[in-house]
Structure 1
Amino acid sequence: MFLLDIAAEMVDRYGIDADEAVARINERFIGWRFAGDGLLFHQSEAYWATDIYFGHDVWWRGEESVDPVPAPGGWQRWLSRRLAWQQLWRLRRLWWSKRLYWKHR
């Protein structure tokens, strides 16, 4: 899988642990939907690993002059390992939209 390859690249290149890499990826791509041959897959794993670890400024200033983006905290790591919160909010939106539909019908 492409996102796991990005995490492996971050672990190899920057020496962070796998949990932190996954948490950074989840934080970066929250709310994105991946389908087909999207824009994400037009760049390499090394590109995305650098972009996620240093942020967008790295492409203009270089890796040497940019500090890494702060790692997600313990609470964010806990959430990143559990995607149920995303599903919960999707279900809540669906429930509210159906409720409004039936109310104003």
Structure 2
Amino acid sequence: MKRTQEFLTALDNGMLRYFREIADVMVDRFGISRAEAVARINDAYEGSEIDPYPDLMCHEEPEYWAYGLYFQARNGVVPRGEDVADLAQWEKSPAPPKTSHVWTLAE
């Protein structure tokens, strides 16, 4: 398990790939920068104890976590992938402040 310059939690190689897949989903589906996607992940998981791959969070696809990190829950529910036709109806969670240390990648 190691920390990378990218993520602020110790991850083995399998979980590092998994976290990168979460970031990829946010970049591809929501059109945000990789720096913002990584900052959102860091904001949520910094210092968390993540087990080696497959950690319990792997029982869900990366899309599950990406949508949860990007959108605000409404009545405890966030949109999930292809099941939602119009994502414009969902409120985006604010990104961490640009001055925060969770921004580990340049824009």
Q: Same fold (TM over 0.5)?
A: yes
Q: CA deviation at 1:35?
A: 1.2
After TM superposition, the structure 1 stretch with the greater mean CA deviation from structure 2, 54-63 or 3-12, is: 54-63
Equivalences for residues 59-78 of structure 1 within 5 A: 60=77, 62=79, 63-76=87-100
Following the alignment from structure 2 to structure 1, what is the Cα–Cα distance between the partners of residues 75 and 22? 17
Following the alignment from structure 2 to structure 1, what is the Cα–Cα distance between the partners of residues 75 and 25? 17
Structure index of larger Rg? 1
TM-score by length of 2: 0.64
Whether the 8 Å CA contact 1:2–1:45 is kept in 2: the answer is yes
RMSD: 2.2
Q: CA deviation at 1:50?
A: 0.3
Following the alignment from structure 1 to structure 2, what is the Cα–Cα distance between the partners of residues 15 and 59? 24
Q: CA deviation at 1:59?
A: 6.1
Higher RCO (CA 8 Å, separation ≥ 6 residues): 2
What CA deviation, in whole Å up to 9, does each residue of 1:23-80 have, x standing for no partner? Answer: 000011123111133221111011111011014438636445431110111112xx12
**Equivalent in 1, 15, 31 of residue 15 of structure 1:** 31
More helix, by proportion: 1
Q: Identity percentage over the alignment? A: 32
Question: How many residues are paired up?
Answer: 80
